[in-house]
Structure 1
Amino acid sequence: MTTATARAFPNIALVKYWGKRDERLILPDAGSLSLTLDQLATTTTVTLKDEPGDDLFALDDRPASPAAAARTSEFLDIVRQWAGDDRAAVVRSHNEAPTGAGLASSAAGFAALAMAAAAAYGLEMDSRELSRLARRGSGSACRSVVPGLAVWHAGDDQASFAEPIPGPDLRLVTAILSDRPKAMSSREAMRLSHETSPFYPAWVRSTELTLAQMQAACRVGDIERIGQLTESHALRMHAVIASSMPPVRYLAPGSLQVFDAAQQLRHDGVVAWATADAGPNVCLLTTPSDAPRVAAAVAGLGVADPDRVHVMGPGPGAALVSPEPTEEMAR
């Protein structure tokens, strides 16, 4: 197959990934756990050229930035090495989520790219192998290969992958406060925290404990405990980020209002626990029955356009879809 198209969805970590022990292999210092969503997908088409050369990468119908193009080519070099095929590729990708704004667009993007590139270059992979491959592009992408709740195991290259776990039926109410790219990428800020935060060693130890507690809560369907752990771990991550030198702050004043709204909703008897990745946008973990009330409360805050408040459920893993025409771009 010389052309393949894949679709993958973002995931939001309930137990956060923040920090690597190996930059080249993208191996985390601690495991993490996430929920793959059913909206805001990335669709990526990979078309192989007839010979080696420069790769081409278009994002949302425009040439990608030099940094994004270089990162994509570096990832494709790994695929080419694994496949024993040195042909260059044309990559076209479309993000339904804001790019680089803290809503896991890179996770969906590299999961889709891994799936499409593996198919185009003729690599036959099971879910575990594909998760390992996606991890080499973006750590959290290994979780978007997997449907629903997924745990990413810390370990060596062979043992660091994501796999699905059982759990209760959850909903995430996402509030998109900003779609502007972050001033500092997650990759840069993660490295900064690792190197400069005095709290980083404790962060790693506490994450290992939180992950074990979260998996236990998921097994028994304890939504209250899942929510407590989710919100606490998110705030710990942002505390570590803020304690870096120089300090980095991703949460905006409106983000904190959403966290406060979650606390008020709980006081009123509604299931609502807030979390945020490395960006200003906030997600509220809730149940299917409480999701409409949570969404209405967030929309009423005025910090996000009501049209940008979404109720999302568990989504599928990365999958191949019907390819789009690519002849003109491959010339």
Structure 2
Amino acid sequence: MRAKARAHSNIALIKYWGKRDERLNLPAVGSISLTLSALWTETEIEFSPQFQTDQLILNDKTASPEETGRTSRFLDVLRKLAGINHKAVIQSHNNFPTAAGLASSASGFAALTLAAARALHLSLSRKELSVLARQGSGSAARSIPGGFVEMHAGQSADGSDAFAEPIAPPAHWDIRLLIGITSGAAKKIGSTAGMNLSKTTSPYYQAWIDAQHADLTAMRQAILDRDFERLGELSEYSCLKMHALALSSNPGILYWNGVTVEAMHAVRDLRRRGTPAYFTIDAGPQIKVLCLPEDENEVREMLESIPGIREVVSNKPGPDARILEADE
């Protein structure tokens, strides 16, 4: 009972921040994301009655008890579906920094969902896989499909309508997202803790929720119309609103470092000089810049010129999560 899967990270263009149900990882708002071609997680899992406990090896190191416990609780959901109690050994590898604002939990739990479902011989639709992945990590639901993806917040208490589906496949639109890595360190405040703090302390939380429908509608249309200027404006706007919400929590949550801020100014300076480029930032210090293919080299040179940018990773719209190997 073994399988191996690969899933790609995703970056939200219209951000997700806040949960309506933490136990089921139900988002308070919908979101729209871009699956990334160059950032991925590969996860191999084997279930066996000979294993006494679940074991998680992450990037060739034994995971912490907290990480292993989170993974075990998630696997319990799939084991219950399969009617099997076997423990598992999981080996997972990210080709990018973990827990640093690059959605490693998204690709990680999406790959784990796919591999575990195949190893347990569960026959599930892409929607059902997305619903399951969401229970591991809210953003993992968006890493099941490729390309341009919308996550539905849903309304049902059981979460059956909170899932992600594609707006358009990767081939729909050849755009670029360049990531400037400013730090490889794990963030001090995890996303779930940050979301909970914003929900309970920020005076702007309800306004964030109320404005989301209009942003989602506009972004969906911008993608279908291939309107890059509109896509960029909406992405930057949603990013700054999310971080304003985090900053307005008590105590305020600051995910940026000095390099992040310098890069934000540099992107806007580049745009003022006539190059259409727009930034977005998740819950971490890494800067992501959206641009068109013909401007990729100029944006890369700009990012590489900023002191403190360690590496620049270029992405196109990435593929669906997929099985790489499986026992029959």
Q: In the alignment, what sits opposite 1:106?
A: 105
Indicate conservation of the 8 Å contact 2:119/2:326, yes or no: no
Which residue, 306, 318, 322 being the options, matches 1:319? 322
For residue 217 of structure 1, report the CA deviation from its aligned partner.
Answer: 1.2
Indicate conservation of the 8 Å contact 2:118/2:326, yes or no: no
For residue 131 of structure 1, report the CA deviation from its aligned partner.
Answer: 0.6
Which residue, 218, 223, 232 being the options, matches 2:228? 223
Which residue, 158, 161, 164 being the options, matches 1:159? 161
Q: Structure 1 stretches (4+) deviating beyond 2 angstroms? A: 166-169
Indicate conservation of the 8 Å contact 1:175/1:304, yes or no: yes
Q: Which of 52-61 and 141-150 deviates more?
A: 52-61
Q: In the alignment, what sits opposite 2:312?
A: 309
Return the letter of the residue paired with 1:299: E
TM-score when normalising by structure 2: 0.95
Superposed CA RMSD in Å reads 1.3
Q: In the alignment, what sits opposite 2:194?
A: 189
Q: Which of 44-53 and 217-226 deviates more?
A: 44-53
Q: In the alignment, what sits opposite 1:141?
A: 140
- For 1:262 and 1:125, the matched residues in 2 are separated by 42
TM-superposition CA deviations, 1:6-42 (whole Å, max 9, x none): 0011000000110010111111111000000011211
TM-superposition CA deviations, 1:39-82 (whole Å, max 9, x none): 12110001001257421111011110111111000100111111
For residue 303 of structure 1, report the CA deviation from its aligned partner.
Answer: 2.3
For residue 248 of structure 1, report the CA deviation from its aligned partner.
Answer: 1.0
Please state if 1:270 is matched with 2:275. Answer: yes
TM-score when normalising by structure 1: 0.95
Return the letter of the residue paired with 2:288: C
- For 1:39 and 1:169, the matched residues in 2 are separated by 14
- For 1:191 and 1:70, the matched residues in 2 are separated by 21
In structure 1, stretches of 5+ residues that fail to align are 325-331
Return the letter of the residue paired with 1:208: H
Indicate conservation of the 8 Å contact 1:52/1:86, yes or no: no
Q: In the alignment, what sits opposite 2:209?
A: 204
Q: In the alignment, what sits opposite 1:117?
A: 116
Q: Which has the higher strand share?
A: 2
Aligned residues: 321
- For 2:174 and 2:149, the matched residues in 1 are separated by 13
For residue 323 of structure 1, report the CA deviation from its aligned partner.
Answer: 5.8
- For 1:32 and 1:323, the matched residues in 2 are separated by 32
Secondary structure at the counterpart of residue 44 of structure 2: strand
- For 2:202 and 2:150, the matched residues in 1 are separated by 26
Indicate conservation of the 8 Å contact 2:2/2:326, yes or no: yes
Q: In the alignment, what sits opposite 1:175?
A: 180
For residue 288 of structure 1, report the CA deviation from its aligned partner.
Answer: 1.0
- For 1:168 and 1:194, the matched residues in 2 are separated by 35
Secondary structure at the counterpart of residue 307 of structure 2: coil
For residue 136 of structure 1, report the CA deviation from its aligned partner.
Answer: 0.5
Indicate conservation of the 8 Å contact 1:111/1:141, yes or no: yes
- Percent of residue pairs identical: 44
- For 1:257 and 1:271, the matched residues in 2 are separated by 18
- For 1:208 and 1:303, the matched residues in 2 are separated by 36
TM-superposition CA deviations, 1:222-270 (whole Å, max 9, x none): 1100000000110110110011111110011110111111111111111
Return the letter of the residue paired with 2:130: S
In structure 2, stretches of 5+ residues that fail to align are none
Indicate conservation of the 8 Å contact 1:45/1:323, yes or no: no
- For 1:255 and 1:279, the matched residues in 2 are separated by 9
Indicate conservation of the 8 Å contact 1:106/1:141, yes or no: yes
- For 1:269 and 1:118, the matched residues in 2 are separated by 48
Q: In the alignment, what sits opposite 2:92?
A: 93
Q: Tell me: CA distance 1:77–1:52, structure 2 relative to 1, closer, same or farther (3 Å).
A: farther
Secondary structure at the counterpart of residue 37 of structure 2: coil
Indicate conservation of the 8 Å contact 1:14/1:230, yes or no: yes
